Amino acid sequence: MRRRYSGLLAAAVATAMTLTLSGCGGSGGEVTLRLVAADYGDSEANTSRRYWDQLAADYESSHPGVSIDISVYSWAEVDKKVADMVKRGEEPDIAQIGSYADYADRNKLYRADEVLSIPTQADFLPKLAEAGEFRRVQYGLPFAASTRLFFYNKALFAEAGIEEPPQSWAELQDAAEALKDAGVETPYALPLGPEEAQAETMLWSLSGGGGFVDSVGSYTLDSPENIRAFEWLRDELVGKGLTGPGDPAALNRQDAFDAFARGEVGMLNGHPTLMRQAEKEDVEFGTAPLPGRTGVAEATMGVNDWLMAFKKNGNRKQIGDFLDYVYSEPNTLEFADRYDMLPVTRSASEAMRADEKHEPMREFLDQLPEAVHYPSNKTTWAYVSKTIKQEIGPAVARDGDPSGVLSRIQRDAFATENAAR
């Protein structure tokens, strides 16, 4: 009965769409939706284009008159590609990129409630939907999420005589010293290089009781808690040779992950993709909540990417119908499963949790509802994130000045925010 009802409903939707499109302008009443998306794959074999091509083909087969034109770019170029399209007045209908606030501020986007059905919009995890709000209106549609956990190499821990993962900074330092004494070259990997330094920065800020913004959304980059966290890193980890022979300012996140997967790193913060990478190399690892200043950290970081619907081409109804299909439970779960991400909807999250093959993801799922996200609802966040990537690394050098560096970033963020008003 359920399959029969779903089939009847799909047929009814397809019929309604056909009737609607027959009254539209253009050649034969057909509509082409242009979608620009980021690539989550690491090779041609698992490029995101394969996911989107199959999704579009399935959708088009039951929606005559609608075609989906797909462009997939690497994360290094996709945001600029979309920005250039907008600058030329050639907005895509849908973009899946890292930030939406600037386009919402310029009145380029449909509101979520203008394109999504009520059941689809209500299915988003509340914190993720809230993170998609610009001036208390949702424009950003959460698409793929992840959280961070503390990873440790079980074999290296055993060799160093460490029985349990650390729960506090002091225990982390003790574990790092034990690993160093056991001959581990990089007891704790601290990736503050330009690839993703803003992530490691936020993790240490949160674990110290700080963060990037306060309760009203104002930047707090040079808060006492953040300064204290980076002074501790400078004095108790980097200064004591517990982060390896290289400079944390030059260590990128992927390089740290690669070293962990080779069995060369004792501890680091990681997201779900690190599990599969380590498993491929037969590294026995464990995960735990982030160590905090005096005990387990109260919060971890969540990362979320965004879909957004542009107004320019006026295809609101067709965009909305396609997005409802994108966010159906099986499609949301399929993307998350394929790319080691976390689903952004309640229904897909519950399906992932219920499936035994996804048991390793449950700890990440547990963290997601209360995870703290980047302030991506601020039009200045892209600039501030770039500044953090460029400047935070030297703060933890042996002669570094965390207070000076964080204060400089804060002043720059404040000036950029005022200029944007």
Question: What is the mean pLDDT of the segment spanning 242-253?
Answer: 96
Q: b/e for 152-179, b at 16 or more Cβ within 10 A?
A: bbeebbeebebeebbbbbeebbebbbbb
Rounded to whole angstroms, what are the CA distances from 104 to 126, 140, 217, 316, 344?
Answer: 20, 8, 17, 16, 21
Angle between helix axes 272-280 and 253-261 (nearest 10 degrees) is 40
Element counts in the chain: helices (H) and strands (E): 19, 12
Q: What is the pLDDT of residues 361-397, one digit of tens each?
A: 999 999 998 899 999 999 999 899 999 999 999 999 9
As a dihedral over the C-alpha atoms of residue 234, residue 240, residue 243, residue 247, rounded to 10 degrees, the angle is 60
What structural domains and CATH numbers belong to the chain?
27-145+303-373 (3.40.190.10), 149-299+380-420 (3.40.190.10)
Q: What is the pLDDT of residue 319?
A: 98
Predicted TM-score (pTM) of this structure: 0.86
pLDDT per residue over 343-358, tens digit each? Answer: 999 999 999 999 999 9
pLDDT band at 27 (very low <50, low <70, confident <90, very high): very low
Residue 26 predicted with pLDDT over 80 = no
Phi, psi dihedral angles at 71 (to 5 degrees): -125, 130
Q: What is the pLDDT of residues 177-203, one digit of tens each?
A: 999 999 999 999 999 999 999 999 999
User: Distance between CA 146 and CA 364 in Å, rounded?
Assistant: 7
Cα(337)–Cα(364) distance, integer angstroms: 13
Res 3 pLDDT > 70: no
Residue 29 has a pLDDT of 64
To 10 degrees, what angle do helices 224-232 and 402-420 make? 140
With beta carbons less than 8 A apart as the criterion, state whether 380 and 339 touch: no
Assess whether pLDDT exceeds 80 at residue 11.
no
